[in-house]
Each structure stands twice: as C-alpha cells, then as structure tokens.
Structure 1
Amino acid sequence: SENNIEIYEFIVLGLTRNPELQGVLFVIFLFIYLVAFLGNMLIVVAHHYVFLLALAIMDIICTTSIIPKMLWPTLTSEKIISYGGCMSQLFFFTWSLGAEMVLFTTMAYDCYVAICFPLHYSTIMNRHMCVALLSIVVAIAVTNSWVHTGLILKLTSCGPNTIDHFFCEIPPLLALSCSPVRVNEMMVYVADIILAIDDFILTFISYGFIIAAILKICTAEGKKKAFSTCSSHLIVVSLYYSPLIYTYICPSTSYTFNKDKVVAAVYTIVTPTLNPIVYSFQNKEMQVGIKK
C-alpha cells in the first residue's frame, strides 16, 4: 500500500500520562526492580537447585528487558525506543515468558517425583534428565519467541508509532498494524493453548497427584511442610498464568490499554519479584546458603 511507512522508532506512553504520578511510580518500580534483581541474584549465588537457578535467570532477563527502559522516561521525559530496541525487548520478553511457563510445569513434575517416588528421585531426576528437561524448556521458548518476533517484523504500519503501553508487547504492536494480523493472532492463540493453558493444566494435574500423596503422609508436621510448599507454588502459578491467558486470548481489536497495563504488570513485574520470596526465602536450605 502507498500509505505504508517505515517505522524507525516508537513512542512508548508508559503506565500513566499523569506527571504527578511519575515520581511515585519511579520510586515504586525502582524498588520492585531492585528487590526482584537482588532476590533472584541471591538464588543464583546461593542455591544449587538447577530448576530454581533457571527460573531466577529467566526472571532477571524478564525484568531487566522491561523495567530499566520503563523507568528512563520518568527521569528524562524521553519516551522513544528504537525499532530494533523494541523488537529486542519483544524477543527477550517472549523468550523468558515462554521459558517460565514450561519451567513451571517441569518444576511441578520434579516435585511430583520427589514426593510420590522419593526413593527413586535421584535415579529418575539425574543430571542427564535435568539437562534434557532444561534443553526442552529453552528450545520451546526460543521457537516461540522467534515465531512471534518474526511475524511482528513482517507487519507494516500506515500511521501512528505510539505504543499505549509501558513496553513492547504483542497486543499493542498488533493494534498499530495496517496489514492483516490474523496469522499473528492465530499463532498467539496456539501459543496460549500450548504454553499457557496446557502447561497450567499439566501443572495442576501434577499437584493433584502430589496432594494425594501428601494425604497419605502419617505425620502432621510432614503434611504441613508439604502443603506449604505446594500452596506457595500454586499461588505463583495462578498469579502468573491467569493474567497471561486473559491478555493473549483477547484479539487486538478488543485490547483495552489502561486495564491491560495493570494485568501485564502482574506477570512481568510482580511475579518475578515474588518468585525468590515464595520459592527460596521460606526455604531453610536457601537461608543457610545466603548466610554462607
């Protein structure tokens, strides 16, 4: 089309246009980012559980690809992000997002083996199995990210380059396109079903078996400890999957920016901050590792 224009940069409006809130939001999100970054770095340094290490690295990538760039305009009023920077942000965000969803299922399976087959755990979850599972996680995540980023790169724009969001996410980018986005939306639905819904179901099936095994534990203390671990994981999983499924199951035409910014903040900022608290800081092994 003759109206197609070449986009070299985007204007990212951020969480709010109210200048009075900019300073407050800067302090809040800087604090959240520091908690998320330092908390996850502590896991990397002090923990030897390979899946938790992987989750911490993914959380660091997710928050670092979004929050620093989101904070910069509140200091400088410069809301511009280059086209390449936007696509890079999209790639790393979708990569960490996809990896975390598959990893949550892997961690649920690991917990299932540990509680349901404790005597065979070291045999089943050996080094080769852990490497194979992590390789699958990375392969699925990279494939998912390349597909979505590649499809976005093929879109053309006819008008505004203003993203009404706080980072380069798929729905607001699709809303800017003047070329058909049916294939993009179809692939988002496919990813939503395969990664979000299927992983969510598999995670809860694993925990169904785990809870059944816990109920057979004789001691009250043993049951309490096991239920505490399960409930923490299920809370994080629910916080992570619910907004994701909601955001990506909606077509771009029905995307409501102000409401969905808040929803996106839950799985991009809040959950990565909660992960180290839920999974590690309540864990005695982690506390010993931090002291060392």
Structure 2
Amino acid sequence: MDSLKSMERQNTTSVTEFILMGFSIDVKNQMLLFALGLSAYLLTLSGNLAIIVLIRVDQSLHTPMYFLLGNLSFIEICYTSTTVPKMLWNLMSGDRTISFTGCALQMYFFVTLGGTECVLLSAMVYDRYAAICHPLRYTVLMSQPTCKGLLTVSWTVGNFNSIINTALVFSLDFCNSNQIEHFFCDIPSLFHLSCSDTRLSKLVTFTVSGCGITMSFFLTLLSYMFIVFTVLKIRISRSRIKAFSTCASHLTVVSIFYGTIIFTYLTPSSSHSTEREQLVSVLYAIITPLLNPLIYSFRNKDVQSALRRLFGTHT
C-alpha cells in the first residue's frame, strides 16, 4: 500500500479543491434529506439560542451551572454550523465542491469546537460534583474566576488539538482522486484520500486526540464515581433521587458524545465502513446539538420555571 502511494505521488498534480460526495442516496431522496437537515438545523439554532437568551434574562439562572450550559449551547450552535449549511447547500445546488482552504478551515473549526465541548462537558460534571459532594463549599469551588478558567482551558485544549490535527492532515499529499466520501471534511476521510504515508500522522492524531478525549473521559468518570458514592450515603430516598436527577441529563449527553467520538477517532479505521462513519458523524455533528437543549435544559425544572416566568411577563 505504501509503495502504491509513493508511485501515485510521482505521477500527480496537486489538489486545489475537494468534492464532498455526501450520502449514498438516490437523487430523488435528496430533497427529503435536505428538508430533514434544514429542519434539524433550524431546531438546533432555535433551541440552543433560546437557552442562551433565557439564561441571560433570568436572574435565577445566573449560576455556575447555567453559565457553563449557556456556553455549551453557544458551542453547539457553532459546531453544527460548521458542517450543516454546507451540506444543505450541496444538496440544494448540486455543487459539491469545497476549496482546499475551505476544507482546512472547516476541519479546523469542527475539531476545535468538538475538542472544546469535550473538555467543557468534564467541567460541567465537576460542577455537579462540587454541588453534590461539597455543597457548603460550592460557591468557593465554582467561583466566577474558576468558571472562566474552566472555559478558557476548554477553548485552549480544543484549539491546541485542532491546530495539530489540521496541520498534520493538510501537510499530506492528495493525489488523483479529490472525492471525499463524506458530507464534510473530517480527519479519517482525508486520511483515506491521501496518497502520502499516513502512519506517522495517524499516530500523532491518535495520541493527541486520544490524550484529550481519554483525560476528559477519565475526569468525567471519576467525578461520577464520587457523586454516586456520596448520593448512596444519603438516607432519604427522595433526596437521593433528586441528586441523581440533576446528573441524568448530563450523563445522557456525555454518553452520546463520547460514544460517537471514540468510535470515530479512537477505533481502527480498518473496522469502519463509509456508511457507518457517516451515520455516526450525523449523530455527533447534527443529532447531539439538536438534542442538547431538549434533554439537558427543557426537562430541567429550573429552566421550566424560568420559561413560565418569561412568558408570564408577556401575558
């Protein structure tokens, strides 16, 4: 395989643009896919934007938990906006091309936002750990400087991870075919397309991304272990249920997010099929940002109360 790639590099012209092949579906089904994609995108924007506005206008939601949640909603809006509008344009216009620079920028922002969300989810479970395990010290553990520090660390890790991965991928040679078997410029798809020896790049990508994901996952798991041990010590069953309920939505989001990310970036690429990769990508690039305001926010009693107060002032 490596010798074949070496021969391809000797007989090639540099790629200046890529073609996003998208989904393997009939042309007659593209309008249906466009309608579903547009609906999901608009619901994602409106749901997450509603959370941001609600947190800003309601004083009762000016707490560390909702500060982090508001930033998560902002990330979700940006995250889905890096891929879905281009996908919708491709479906509507039939023009599937994306420039070399445009592809690099799309990958950079997508990986940055994904990495930032990964760390931010760990910060949010730390907030639950502080509230449940150390309620008397909560205001100290989750002070305003701490919240801003956690947010800064999240963005720093996300950018660092993205800069390394994007630089590695786009320093490779792309020969003959410029057709990306995906609906956006993702790392595994570009590796498949390259005619360079990608072993070192894959190793570095696996190491850098793996360390970030593994560390965030470990901290999340550790925090939940402390939470479970603390809650089990509570004698009153109603209090135990209430404590667990504050973590249920976050645990759902974390499970979906980490499950799809680990499958995509930390499992052997030889075990992936194009259709399976695309399906998993739809989950973490489109479905998760859509579900976030539903399972994390609107089922929350504080948010429901804030919504009633907000609409009550206008009636």
TM-score (norm 2): 0.88
- Which position in structure 1 is the counterpart of 2:136? 119
- Which position in structure 2 is the counterpart of 1:14? 22
Structure 2 stretches of 5 or more lacking a match? Answer: 1-8, 56-61, 311-315
- Which position in structure 2 is the counterpart of 1:129? 146
2:22 pairs with 1:5: no
* Distance in structure 1 (CA, Å) of the matches to 2:142 and 2:301: 22
Query: 1:286 offset after TM fit, Å?
Result: 1.8
Within the candidate set 178, 183, 187, 1:170 is matched to 187
Aligned runs of 1:1-292 on 2, under 5 Å? 1-47=9-55, 48=62, 49-252=66-269, 255-291=272-308, 292=310
* Distance in structure 2 (CA, Å) of the matches to 1:247 and 1:80: 24
Query: 1:68 offset after TM fit, Å?
Result: 0.8
> Contact 2:253/2:288 (CA < 8 Å) preserved in 1?
yes
Q: Which amino acid aligns with 1:169?
A: D
Query: 1:254 offset after TM fit, Å?
Result: 5.0
Structure 1 residue matching 2:83: 3-state secondary structure: helix
- Deviations, residues 47-76 of structure 1 (Å, cap 9, x unaligned): 242111111111111100011111112211
* Distance in structure 2 (CA, Å) of the matches to 1:172 and 1:183: 16
* Distance in structure 2 (CA, Å) of the matches to 1:16 and 1:158: 23
> Taking structure 1 as reference, are residues 88 and 97 closer, same or farther at Cα in structure 2, changes over 3 Å only?
same
* Distance in structure 2 (CA, Å) of the matches to 1:252 and 1:8: 26
> Contact 2:161/2:209 (CA < 8 Å) preserved in 1?
no
* Distance in structure 1 (CA, Å) of the matches to 2:111 and 2:307: 31
* Distance in structure 1 (CA, Å) of the matches to 2:271 and 2:195: 16
Tell me the percent identity: 39
Structure 1 stretches of 5 or more lacking a match? Answer: none
Structure 2 residue matching 1:166: 3-state secondary structure: coil
Query: 1:251 offset after TM fit, Å?
Result: 4.4
> Contact 1:58/1:100 (CA < 8 Å) preserved in 2?
yes
Structure 1 vs Structure 2 CA RMSD: 1.6
* Distance in structure 2 (CA, Å) of the matches to 1:229 and 1:241: 19
> Contact 2:188/2:265 (CA < 8 Å) preserved in 1?
yes
> Contact 1:151/1:184 (CA < 8 Å) preserved in 2?
yes
| Alignment size in residue pairs | 292
Q: Which amino acid aligns with 2:75?
A: M
Between 17-26 and 146-155, report the one with greater CA deviation.
17-26
Between 258-267 and 14-23, report the one with greater CA deviation.
14-23
> Taking structure 1 as reference, are residues 269 and 247 closer, same or farther at Cα in structure 2, changes over 3 Å only?
same
Q: Which amino acid aligns with 1:52?
A: L
Q: Which amino acid aligns with 1:236?
A: V
Query: 1:250 offset after TM fit, Å?
Result: 3.5
Query: 1:235 offset after TM fit, Å?
Result: 1.7
- Deviations, residues 147-206 of structure 1 (Å, cap 9, x unaligned): 011112211112100000011000011111111212221122113421222322221211
Q: Which amino acid aligns with 2:16?
A: Y
TM-score (norm 1): 0.95
Query: 1:108 offset after TM fit, Å?
Result: 0.9
